[in-house]
């Protein structure tokens, strides 16, 4: 089992994606990787970890789960003063799927859905998340952002999809296999952000490369 550290939930602004006071989605920040091409775990780069938590909170997500793995002790120290649920993916070397499984396992079962983002997307902000959430926050919701038609993050996984995502996740593919079988609603966000993950110091991944 993955140890989970719980602290008081972040108090974001009220979430209302539909105008009817919908229940708030949870937030899931995946930050367990070693960042081999970066040369350091991405959770330790600049303010990416804190920023990811703050962006999810500002968009109305509560509670927020952060998945740590490589350099977990150092990354945990960076979370001082920010309330979050911390989950540790001990098998983080297995790839993104390990982080996703650990994160979903730590989510409260009362959350209708979860917004998933990666720690290495520093230009994906609150406005992107809120736009994607306009498609709804329900147990059956399955939505993801696109950038010039390329799939990216955030993704919104309704509670009814969580076990299916866990079962399908393998290696570094994350939820990609599940999305291949269950087409999500797509929300274009290229006017708000690039959506590309940063793999090297100061450089984004090659054009057209996004992870599921």
Q: What is the structure's pLDDT at 35? A: 67
Residue 212 lies in a domain: no
> What's the pLDDT at 151?
94
Smallest CA-to-CA distance from 113 within 150, 69, 47, 160 is with 160
Burial bucket for residue 51 (CB in 10 Å: 0-12, 13-18, 19+): middle
65-104: per-residue pLDDT in tens? 999 988 888 989 888 888 899 999 998 888 889 999 999 9
CATH number of domain containing 165: 3.90.550.10
How far is Cα 106 from Cα 17, in angstroms, rounded to an integer? 24
Of residues 3 and 96, more confidence is placed in 96
Instruction: For the chain, give the percent of residues with pLDDT over 70.
Output: 81
Is residue 6's pLDDT more than 70? Answer: no
Instruction: Please count the structural domains in the chain.
Output: 1
| 211 within domain boundaries | no
150-203 pLDDT, tens digit each: 999 999 999 999 999 999 988 888 888 999 999 999 999 999 999 988 764 444
Q: Is residue 54 part of a domain?
A: yes
**Considering the domain boundaries, does residue 82 fall inside one?**
yes
Beta bridge partners of 203: 200
Tens digit of each residue's pLDDT (9 = 90 or more) over 9-62: 333 333 444 333 358 999 999 998 766 766 677 888 888 999 999 999 999 999
179-185, long-range: CB < 8 A, 24+ apart: 179/142, 179/144, 179/151, 179/212, 182/142, 183/142, 184/142, 184/143, 184/144, 184/155, 185/135, 185/142, 185/143, 185/144
Q: What is the mean pLDDT of residues 123-133?
A: 97
Banded pLDDT at 143 (limits 50, 70, 90): very high
Q: Which residue segment(s) compose the domain that 135 sits in? A: 4-204
Residue 210 lies in a domain: no
Q: Is residue 209 part of a domain?
A: no
In this structure, is residue 181 part of a structural domain?
A: yes
Q: Quote the pLDDT of residue 48.
A: 92
pLDDT reported for residue 199:
63
């Amino acid at each position: 089992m993955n140890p989970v550290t719980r602290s008081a939930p972040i108090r974001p602004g009220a979430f209302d994606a539909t105008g009817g006071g919908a229940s708030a989605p949870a937030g899931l920040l995946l930050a367990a990787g070693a960042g081999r091409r970066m040369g350091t775990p991405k959770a330790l780069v600049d303010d990416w970890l804190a920023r990811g938590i703050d962006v999810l909170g500002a968009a109305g997500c509560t509670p927020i789960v952060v998945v740590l793995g490589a350099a977990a002790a150092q990354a945990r120290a960076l979370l001082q003063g920010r309330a979050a649920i911390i989950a540790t993916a001990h098998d983080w070397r297995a790839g993104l799927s390990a982080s996703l499984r650990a994160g979903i396992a730590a989510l409260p079962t009362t959350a209708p859905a979860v917004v998933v983002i990666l720690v290495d997307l520093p230009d994906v902000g609150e406005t992107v998340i809120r736009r994607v959430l306009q498609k709804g926050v329900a147990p059956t919701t399955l939505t993801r952002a696109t950038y010039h038609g390329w799939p990216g993050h955030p993704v919104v996984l309704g509670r009814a999809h969580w076990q299916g995502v866990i079962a399908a996740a393998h290696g570094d593919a994350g939820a990609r296999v599940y999305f291949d079988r269950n087409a999500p609603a797509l929300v274009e966000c290229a006017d708000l952000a690039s959506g590309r993950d940063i793999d090297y110091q100061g450089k984004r991944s090659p054009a057209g490369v996004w992870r599921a």
